Amino acid sequence: MPKNTEIERKFLVKSDAFEAQATHHYEIEQGYLCKEAGKTIRVRIRDTRAFLTIKSSKLRAGLAKFEFEHEIALDEAKELMQLCLPNPIIKTRYIIPINDERKWEVDVFHGHKEGLILAEIELGDENEPFERPEWLGDEVTGLPQYYNANM
């Protein structure tokens, strides 16, 4: 897989049973500086750490996306949040390990998306098999309404 490539599958979550399997969770606030078809630039604050991320589907075929992420100072991220588009994403992310290489990330949304719960898994290959936990619902990979940038 090329450097700076992300392959993820996304699903709705049909129950809160995932919480018992989570090893930890943290709070996320993210805003978008740019949202265009096929590319985004976002600022994310995760507890006390902050990141600037550029994503694009224009450089990769299929489910693979280009992703560049760089940690930035928390005070810089808070300042950049003031420049972001309206309606930042606010969510709690739960981490559910699968093995040494894979994990589920389950996002429980708050604010204007209260009630939405999504699970993601990052894969090494588009065809990599994985076990579906009982709390996993319908797959929504590729449906634009479930991209954070479109919320």
Instruction: Please list the active-site residues.
Output: 32
- The structure tokens 């993601």 sit at 120
- Burial (CB count <10 Å: 0-12, 13-18, 19+), residue 147: middle
**Which residues neighbour 43 within 8 Å (Cβ) at sequence distance 6 or greater?**
30, 31, 32, 33, 50, 51, 52, 53, 72, 77, 80, 81, 84
